[in-house]
Structure 1
Amino acid sequence: MISTYEGFFLNLCVLISSLFVYKQLARSISKSCQNNYSLVKSGILSGLLGIILMHFSIVTGLNSFIDLRVIPLMLTVLYGGWRATFVTSVIIIIFRFMIDINIYSLSNVIFILLSWIFFYYCSKKIKNRWTSVVVMISLSNIVYTLLAIIVQSITGINYILLLDYWIISILGGLVAVYIMEYLTKSELLFKQHKDFAFTDPLTGLNNVRSFDRAFNQAKSRQDKSVAIMILDIDRFKQVNDTYGHSEGDVVLRKLAAILKMSQGPEDIVSRNGGEEFSVLIHNCTKAEAYEKAESLRKIVENSFFVIKDGTVSIHITISIGITIYSETTKEIDHLYTHADQALYAAKKSGRNKVHFYSEDDQLS
C-alpha cells in the first residue's frame, strides 16, 4: 500500500512538471500557428503527457499497475477543442496497443472512448468547473470499475486495486485541474499586465510609453518625413465639473474611437495623459498632415457625445498643434516640444483650431 502511494506521489510530480512544460509549449504553438493545426499540436502534447504517465505506471504490489493516462484526456476536453481531444485519444490508444494486444488493451480502448464521451457531455452540461470535474472523474471511474470487473472476473476481482484507482484518480484529477486553472489565470494576468504596460486602460489607445517607444524608433531611423499631432479637448474641465468624471471618461473613450477611425493604419495614436492625445504620422507632407488634422477637428466638432446613459448629448471641440520633420522642425529631438508649443498657440488664439508650428511659437 505504501509503495502504491509513493508511486502516486512520483506520478503527481511528473504530472505537475509536465503541465508547466505543456503550457509553455502550447502558448508558443498558439502564437506561431493561430488555426486548427495549433489545436492538433496541443492534442499531440496532451497525448505525449498521457504516454509519460503510462510509462510511470504505479505498481500496486499486486501484479497490477495504475496510471493517470485519462487525466490528460480530461484536461484536453476542458481546455482544448474536439480535435485536440481526438488526437490525444488516438495517441494514448496507439501507445497502449504498442505495449501488447490483449483483452486489457481492448478494454483500454473502450475506457478511453467512453471517458471521452462522458467528459465532453459534462463539460457542456455542467457549468461549475469543479462540479464538472468531480462528475467527470466519477463517471470515468465507474467505467473503469465495470470494465475491470468484467475483465478480472476470469482471474478474480482485485478490489484493493479498484479502491486505489478511485483514490488516486480523484486526487490526481483535482490536482491537475487546480494546476491548469492556476497556470491559465497566471497566463491571463501576465498578458493583461503586458498589455497595460503599453496600452491606456481607459481608451484602449497606446499610452505614453508606447508613444515614446515609437517616437524613439522614428528618431533612430532618422525618418525624413514624420509629423506629430498633439490635440487637447477644449474646456474639458467644464465637462467634468458639470457632468462628473465618469461622464468625462465616456467623452474620452468616444474621442479615442474617433481617433482610431480617422487615422491611417500606420499612424501611432496615443493618449498621453488626461485629455491630451497624440498622433505620430509617418511618410506625409506638410499639406497632408494639415489636412489630417483639420479633418479630425471637423469630425469632432460635428459629432454628438452621448452621456448620462443616453439622456444627454453634448458637443466638444479640440485644439491641435502639429509640426513635421524636417519642414517646420529641423531637429527631430524637438519634434514633440514644437508640437506642444503649437498646441499652446492654438489654444491661445481661440481654441478649436489647427496650428502648425513656427518659430514665433517659441515659449519664453
Structure 2
Amino acid sequence: MYFSIDAGVNSIIDLRVIPLMLVVLYSNWISASVTASLIIITRFIIGVNAQSYSNVIFILVSWAIFQYVSKRMKNRWICIFVMLGISALTNAFLSIWIPSTTSINISLLINYSIISILGGLIAVYILDYLIRSEELFLQHKNDAFTDPLTGLSNVRNFDRVFNEAKKRQLKSNENISIMILDIDRFKQVNDTYGHLEGDKVLSKFALILKSIQGPNEIVSRNGGEEFSILIHNCTLEEAKERAESVRKVIENSYFLINNDTKSIHISVSIGVTTYSDSTKEIDSLYEHADQALYAAKKSGGNRVYLYS
C-alpha cells in the first residue's frame, strides 16, 4: 500500500488484495480476518474519503469471495484464477460506482485487473516453491542425522550428540555413560532367513530400544547390527543396571519374520563404561565401551560387561 499508484482524484490502486488471498489459501479464517482488518485500518490512516469506504467494501467482499471459492473449488489454479477475477471485477465496479472516481481511466482498470490476476498467480507459484523447498530442506536435514532403516540416530548424529555431551560435561561435571549393543550371531539370521528378514529384525530391535528409551538417553544405530545408548548424568552402577534391563527385554522378546509366520529369539551383548567412574579420558569413552563389548561377545554373548 505504501507504493500505491495514484489513479485519479483521491484514488489509489495497489495489489493489497494478493496478500489477503495468500493468507486465505495458506492459513485460516482468523488470520484472514486480521489481515483484512489491518488493510482497512491502514487505508483509513492514508486518508478518510469515499474511496477509503469503498476499500472497506472491496476488502470485505474479496475476503468473503476468497473464503467461499477456496472451499468450493477443488482445482487449485482455477480456484485462484476465479478468486482474483471476481475480486478484479468487484474493484472495477466500485471504481465506476463511487461518484468521485468516475473520471478514472477504464484502460487502467483493465490493466489493473490483468496485473492483479497475473501477480496473484505468480505469488502463489513462488510461495508454493518456497514451501516445497523448506519441506525438502527439513527432510534432508532429518535424513542427514537419521538411520533410514530404523529411524534411530545415525553415527553422524551420535558424534554430534557426543560432542555436545562433552561440552556440557565441562560445565556441569556430570557423569556420561555409553552402552554399545551388538546382536549376537546376527550373521546367522541373515544367512538362514535372508537380509530382508534380517532388516525386519533390526527394525523390531530398534522399536524395542525406542520403547524403553529413557529421558536422558540417546539411542543410535552405529552400523550393521551395532547400536549405542548415550546416557547423561548416569553412574557406572546405574548404567550397568540399565544395560541388564535392556538385555533382559531383548532376551524375552520375539521377532516375527517370513510374513509373520515364524517367530525367533535373539540376544544382545553390551559393553558399558562411564566417565569418570571407569574411563578417565572422555575421548576414550566409545573405545572403552567397544572393548567391553568385545569381551562380552568373546565370553559367549548375551551378557553385560563393564570396562575395567
2:231 to 281, 291, 305: 281
TM-score, length of structure 1 as denominator length: 0.75
1:212 paired to 2:212 = no
1:286-335 deviation digits (Å, cap 9, x = unpaired): 22111111111111222233445545443322221111223332332221
Q: CA deviation at 1:277?
A: 0.9
Tell me how far apart the structure 2 counterparts of residues 104 and 61 of structure 1 sit (CA, whole Å).
Answer: 11
1:195 paired to 2:142 = yes
Q: Check conservation: 2:271, 2:294, Cα contact below 8 A.
A: yes
Q: CA deviation at 1:207?
A: 2.0
Q: CA deviation at 1:279?
A: 0.7
1:315 paired to 2:262 = no
Q: Check conservation: 1:271, 1:278, Cα contact below 8 A.
A: yes
Q: Any idea what SS the aligned residue of 1:117 has?
A: helix
Tell me how far apart the structure 1 counterparts of residues 303 and 294 of structure 2 sit (CA, whole Å).
Answer: 11
- Out of 78-87 and 271-280, give the one that drifted further: 78-87
TM-score, length of structure 2 as denominator length: 0.87
Tell me how far apart the structure 1 counterparts of residues 287 and 233 of structure 2 sit (CA, whole Å).
Answer: 20
Give the corresponding residue for 1:16: none
1:84 paired to 2:84 = no
Q: How many residues align?
A: 305
- More helix by percentage: 1
1:222-264 deviation digits (Å, cap 9, x = unpaired): 5452211000122333434454444433333332222223232
Tell me how far apart the structure 1 counterparts of residues 112 and 42 of structure 2 sit (CA, whole Å).
Answer: 21
Q: CA deviation at 1:107?
A: 2.1
Tell me how far apart the structure 1 counterparts of residues 54 and 196 of structure 2 sit (CA, whole Å).
Answer: 63
Give the corresponding residue for 1:112: 59
Give the corresponding residue for 1:265: 215
Counterpart AA for 2:110:
L
Give the corresponding residue for 2:132: 185
Q: Structure 1: 5+ residue runs without aligned partners?
A: 1-53, 359-364
Q: CA deviation at 1:162?
A: 2.7
What does 1:289-328 align with in structure 2 at a 5 Å threshold?
289-307=239-257, 310-328=260-278
Q: Label 1:208 to 1:180 Cα distance change in 2 as closer, same or farther (>3 A).
A: same
Q: CA deviation at 1:57?
A: 2.0
Give the corresponding residue for 1:150: 97
Q: Any idea what SS the aligned residue of 2:219 has?
A: strand
Q: Label 1:59 to 1:235 Cα distance change in 2 as closer, same or farther (>3 A).
A: farther
Give the corresponding residue for 1:341: 291
Q: CA deviation at 1:157?
A: 7.3
Give the corresponding residue for 2:84: 137
Q: Check conservation: 1:342, 1:356, Cα contact below 8 A.
A: yes
Q: Any idea what SS the aligned residue of 2:279 has?
A: coil
Q: Check conservation: 2:270, 2:303, Cα contact below 8 A.
A: yes
- Structure number with higher relative contact order (C-alpha < 8 Å, ≥ 6 residues apart): 2
1:232 paired to 2:182 = yes
Q: Check conservation: 1:64, 1:161, Cα contact below 8 A.
A: no
Q: Structure 2: 5+ residue runs without aligned partners?
A: none
Q: CA deviation at 1:93?
A: 0.3
Give the corresponding residue for 1:250: 200
RMSD: 2.7
Tell me how far apart the structure 2 counterparts of residues 339 and 245 of structure 1 sit (CA, whole Å).
Answer: 27
- Flag as ranges the 4+ runs of structure 1 deviating above 4 A: 59-65, 241-244, 307-312
Q: Check conservation: 2:95, 2:101, Cα contact below 8 A.
A: no
